[in-house]
């Protein structure tokens, strides 16, 4: 496939490319954004600006200043260099904590539930938090990454902290660290994630939460959340391969990292894992006298009682819910609560490697908590007129397998339109060191009619949206990455054999010539342009201004637009990156930006 270089206009609109045509590059290199010096907190904004606008501008200044700290990519490189001595990182985090005015012992007041894993740790946190909130407890919840606004990472009672609270705590912490920094030191200010972790500790203590659910950022042993000495309980969700450059390239090495959050005498729970990683977790726990238990499947807790309804879709959520129930119940028991569910007859461990956690009847509070759990961007459906958006931030091979199962099951159970065609569209992006070719191969069975690639940029210019800033890449770099995804997709379809007789019939957008089997694909320069092309003005909420003419300049874009305008139903799967899902949600759900 030849690569023709072309210049983008100043607006940097569309980089639309047919999988059967020439790929398009970009000549002009441009940093995505650069910010002016931040407004100092408390400084009056000039002119007749309303109070709400003042608050918005002050918060944007806080977020922009936060973005000047180390980016995640730089942080990972730093961690890689230091991982030979994990104590170096934890000691540095303790120093930051002390400079911020806290000691490690102060964190014991937060009654922390510490959760790690590769797949489902965020969902497990969300289930756990919602269960305990249903008991009337005031909850804190720290998670990453955010989807739309950075304050989503720090939640009180399930809600992101308010813009006012975010701004107040940000500047208080920032100035305290500025006043105590040593200019001769290379770590005078903490990086982005470390800063937010420190800020979460301060917010939760100031707001006097009854408990804090803390999601590990990356790994466990070296993660900055692991300065917590005395959590109430720890959990490990399903393990998989991710962040191999940092955590190791085998499940056993990754399990060793995850088991680093275990503490002496602190109960811990995990779900069913492959034999090798499970043995590593067991050994890690035994070495420090940590009581580690294997969660029974959710069906065991349902026996003899009502079926449990989960607020999150997908079969894989059952494992996350089973872990959350054990974590919540253990926390309640450790804190002296009585209503923790009636024990059932215990059963031996399935593998003999670990003792089985209690089999109990979930209480009504637990049942309501599971049912009412919300966790945007994970197996999330949005139905909008003829469009159904399927949003899942899967970005590892195992999580993508679960995403594909969920998507196909959702399609199978859908209501079919009375007449007219149905169209399947994939919107995909992948970043970092992830194997995008492997992820795309897993998506092939979904038989998409159109496949769209775009960077994790809501708009081509994101200068008005500090929450989704990325200082580490240029527009050229992210577009070239999308073009590489498209090439992978094209090769997969060229290599793909014809479907076996009797296999599932594809949902065709229209009768195709017998020789045409590959999916048409396009590359757009931002999420907004991709959504404009996919929705064709048919989403009642997403109604942008008239799209630029160049969106339909390519033959595939032009002919596809007609098909999408006439389709009775359009099914859009958005996956490959939580940041991509976040950008889509920002446009489809404007309330999330308020």
- Residues annotated within the binding site for ATP are 378, 392
Q: Chain-centre distance of CA 189, in angstroms?
A: 26
Q: Chain-centre distance of CA 5, in angstroms?
A: 34
Cα atoms in the Cβ-side hemisphere of radius 13 Å centred on 5: 5
Q: Residue 503 and residue 496: Cα distance in Å, rounded?
A: 14
3-state secondary structure of 504: coil
Using alpha carbons only, what angle is made at residue 224 by residues 113 and 90, rounded to the nearest 5 degrees? Answer: 115
Binding residues: 144, 215, 243, 378, 392
Binding residues for Mg(2+): 144, 215, 243
3-state secondary structure of 45: coil
- Can you give the length of the chain in residues? 594
Distance between terminal CA atoms of the chain?
A: 44
- Note whether 314 and 379 are within 8 A (CB): yes
The DSSP-derived string for 197-266 is HHHHHHHHHHTT-SEEEEE-SSSSSS-GGGG-S--SEEEE-B-----HHHH-SSHHHHHHHHGGG--TT-
Strand order of the β-sheet with 387-391 is 380-384, 387-391, 569-575, 422-428, 450-453, 520-523
In our burial notation (b when 16+ CB lie closer than 10 A, e otherwise), range 510-543 reads eeeeeeeebbbbbbbbbbbbbbbbbbbebbeebe
């Amino acid at each position: 496939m030849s690569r023709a270089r072309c210049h983008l206009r100043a607006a940097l609109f569309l980089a639309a490319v047919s999988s059967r045509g020439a790929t398009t590059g970009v000549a002009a290199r441009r940093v995505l954004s650069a910010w002016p010096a931040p407004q100092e907190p408390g400084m009056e904004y000039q002119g007749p600006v309303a109070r709400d606008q003042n608050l918005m501008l002050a918060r944007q200044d806080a977020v922009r200043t936060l973005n000047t700290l180390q980016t995640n990519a730089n942080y990972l490189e730093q961690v890689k260099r230091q991982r030979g001595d994990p104590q170096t990182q934890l000691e540095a985090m303790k120093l930051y904590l002390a400079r911020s005015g806290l000691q490690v012992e102060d964190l014991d007041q937060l009654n922390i539930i510490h959760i790690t894993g590769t797949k489902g740790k965020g969902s497990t946190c969300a289930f756990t938090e919602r269960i305990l909130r249903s008991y009337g407890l005031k909850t804190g919840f720290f998670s990453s990454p955010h989807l739309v606004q950075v304050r989503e990472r720090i939640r009180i009672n399930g809600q992101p902290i308010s813009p006012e609270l975010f701004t107040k705590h940000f500047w208080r912490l920032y100035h305290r660290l500025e006043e105590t920094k040593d200019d001769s030191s290379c770590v005078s200010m903490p990086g982005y994630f470390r800063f937010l972790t420190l800020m979460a500790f301060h917010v939760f203590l100031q707001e006097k939460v009854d408990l804090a659910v803390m999601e590990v950022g990356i790994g466990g042993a070296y993660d900055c959340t692991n300065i917590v000495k005395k959590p109430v309980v720890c959990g490990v969700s399903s393990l998989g391969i991710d962040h191999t450059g940092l955590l190791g390239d085998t499940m056993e090495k990754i399990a060793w990292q995850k088991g680093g959050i275990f503490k002496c005498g602190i109960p811990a729970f995990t779900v069913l894992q492959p034999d090798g990683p499970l043995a590593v977790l067991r050994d890690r726990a035994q070495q420090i006298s940590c009581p580690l238990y294997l969660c029974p499947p959710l069906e065991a807790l349902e026996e003899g009682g009502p079926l449990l309804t989960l607020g999150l879709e997908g079969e894989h959520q059952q494992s996350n819910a089973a872990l959350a129930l054990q974590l919540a119940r253990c926390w309640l028991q450790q804190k002296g609560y009585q209503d923790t569910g009636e024990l059932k007859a215990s059963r031996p461990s399935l593998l003999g490697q670990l003792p089985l956690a209690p089999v109990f009847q979930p209480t009504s509070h637990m049942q309501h908590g599971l049912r009412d759990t919300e966790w945007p961007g994970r197996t999330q459906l949005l139905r909008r007129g003829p469009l159904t958006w399927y949003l899942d931030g899967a970005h590892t091979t195992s999580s993508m397998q679960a995403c594909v199962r969920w998507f196909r099951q959702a399609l199978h159970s859908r209501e079919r339109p009375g007449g007219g065609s149905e169209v399947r569209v994939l919107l995909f992006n992948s970043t970092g060191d992830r194997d995008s070719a492997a992820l795309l191969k897993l998506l092939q069975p979904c038989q998409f009619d159109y496949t769209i690639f775009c960077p994790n940029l809501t708009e081509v210019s994101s200068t008005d949206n500090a929450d989704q800033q990325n200082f580490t890449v240029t527009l050229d770099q992210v577009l070239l990455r999308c073009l590489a995804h498209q090439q992978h997709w094209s090769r997969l379809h060229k290599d793909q054999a014809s479907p076996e007789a009797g296999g599932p019939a594809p949902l065709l957008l229209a009768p195709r010539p017998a020789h045409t089997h590959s999916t048409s694909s396009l590359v757009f320069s931002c999420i907004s342009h991709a959504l404009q092309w996919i929705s064709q003005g048919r989403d009642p909420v997403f109604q942008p201004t008239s799209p630029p003419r160049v969106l339909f300049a390519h033959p595939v874009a032009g002919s596809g637009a007609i098909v999408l305008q006439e389709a009775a139903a359009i099914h859009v799967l958005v996956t490959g990156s939580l940041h991509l899902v976040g950008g889509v949600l920002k446009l489809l759900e404007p309330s999330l930006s308020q």
